[in-house]
Amino acid sequence: MASPRFVLLAALAYLPIKLVHELAHGLAVRRWGGQVRQAGVTLMLLMPVPYVDASAATSFPERRARIAVSAAGILTELALAAMALLLWVALDDGLVRDIAFVVVVVAGVSTLLFNGNPLQRLDGYYVLCDTLGLPNLGPRSRQWWMDRLRRRLLGTAHTEAMPVARGEAKWLAAYAPLSWLMLLFIATLAVFWLGQIAFVFGVAAALLLGWQVLLRPLHRVLSQLRRAALSQHGSSRRWRRVILGGAALLVLLAVSPWPRSTVVMGVAWPPDQAQLRTEEAGFVESQRARDGQHLQAGDIVLQLHSPQLESEHARQAARVRALEAELLQALPGPKAGGDATRGA
């Protein structure tokens, strides 16, 4: 999937697939009596992406209507992926079959990994929130964790905590960490995939996603903790302790003797054209070629010893000698009487 042909076909197929996706959202909003106030094309990572304003679904009183609007795009893309999969199975190799495979990946795998993923704030997230009856689950989960960090690190236990409904705490505790881990996993996949296309793409993606996934969230957390420390009496001393502790941890990580290499077990498997094969089994008796030596066609690399071949050679040699003896006996010999008369 890192071939230039696949990337080109995916780029060409992405826009019409997402156009159908957004059209499904708009039709679902209209089906339940809402108004689509805006639709158009925007840029995401320098790529044109269609969009539809489906925010009218938030005012629908029925939960199933909100879920239907959120899931409409995913279900439509999965239907396209299913039809493309049938074509891919039925067709022979060619351009149409390659396009069908691209549609399966973009409309099937990619949609489930991104749009259908409830841990990212896309369609699957809104389906999860409406299904559980927990609106704004992502922001509330991050706020829940910030409240606990402020209490643990700054000792601001007297501040007013975010109100939590019964049974909501476990979702708030789990969602933010799982969402961040999923984002880190997707970013790692993207970096390795772009690195297979071109090394410079992988480096650029690693720098960009490293800021978005690691440094930017850390900067946001530290900024909020700093503001909380400065706004609370007596918390500035705790804040300085947190900063000094973090700096000491960074220094400890920097001076620790981390290994510079990793030793793993592996097997070097050369390509088929570089492998030497014998027609018969045998034992290595001597090595004629040295490591690193350049070989020409016909050069002897190894001398093998095969007891089976030697036994067969001896048997065939004995048979040849027996046939030669039979041949000599069958040849006519000189006549003694004729020779005597000719001599007289």
SS (HEC) of 316-328: HHHHHHHHHHHHH
Do both 116 and 147 map to the same domain?
Answer: no
pLDDT category, 344, cuts 50, 70, 90? very low
Residue at token pair 């409830």: 118
Do both 176 and 225 map to the same domain?
Answer: yes
Do both 91 and 40 map to the same domain?
Answer: yes
Nearest to 50, CA basis, from 8, 22, 30:
22
Q: For residue 106, what are its two tokens?
A: 């973009």
Do both 79 and 17 map to the same domain?
Answer: yes
Do both 218 and 104 map to the same domain?
Answer: no
For residues 136-163, give the mean pLDDT.
Answer: 79
Residue 16's pLDDT is what?
93
Q: How many helices (H) and strands (E) does the chain have?
A: 12, 4
Residue 343 has pLDDT above 50, yes or no: no
Domain of 10, in residue numbers: 1-133
Q: What is the pTM of this model?
A: 0.66
Do both 118 and 204 map to the same domain?
Answer: no
Strand pairing category for 283-287 and 302-305 = antiparallel
- Count other C-beta atoms under 10 Å from residue 223's C-beta: 10
Domain assignment of residue 297, yes or no: no
Domain assignment of residue 51, yes or no: yes
pLDDT category, 225, cuts 50, 70, 90? confident
What lies within 8 Å, CB to CB, of 154 at 6+ separation is 225, 228, 229, 232, 235, 238, 239, 242
Q: Among 118-132, 152-166, 275-289, 327-341, whose mean pLDDT is lowest?
A: 327-341
Q: Which residue has the higher pLDDT, 8 or 280?
A: 8
Nearest to 57, CA basis, from 29, 31, 36:
29
Number of domains in the chain: 2
Do both 169 and 207 map to the same domain?
Answer: yes
Which of 246, 272, 294 is a domain's end point?
246
Mean pLDDT for the chain overall: 84
- Count other C-beta atoms under 10 Å from residue 274's C-beta: 7
Do both 203 and 83 map to the same domain?
Answer: no
Domain assignment of residue 294, yes or no: no
Do both 166 and 82 map to the same domain?
Answer: no
Do both 73 and 24 map to the same domain?
Answer: yes
